[in-house]
Amino acid sequence: MAGSSTLTGSGWQANPTPDTRFAINVSVAAVPGQPAAGLGKANDLVIDTANRVIYENVAGTWSAGTSY
């Protein structure tokens, strides 16, 4: 999100606006373990919280993953 904030009598108020810098919508899920084939769509990301690996869906197929 992007946007601005305004100081009001009761404190700061957020004025969020959607971030339009990216041409695609990407979903990010956090799951224990590698994502199953057939789940997600191209450009989605999965964070494997059990093994500390990030997977990217490339053209419908999950990558081998990158450790973090």
| Domain locations along the chain | 23-68
pLDDT under 70 in the chain at which residues?
1-3, 18-19, 22-24
In this structure, what is the dihedral angle of CA atoms 39, 40, 44, 47, given to the nearest 10 degrees? -40
Question: What pTM does this model have?
Answer: 0.62
Please, which residues have CB within 8 angstroms of residue 62's CB and are 6 or more apart in sequence? 34, 35, 37, 40, 46, 55, 56
Q: What pLDDT is attached to residue 57?
A: 92
Q: Report how far residue 43's alpha carbon sits from residue 4's, in angstroms, rounded to the nearest whole number.
A: 29
Q: Report how far residue 36's alpha carbon sits from residue 56's, in angstroms, rounded to the nearest whole number.
A: 12
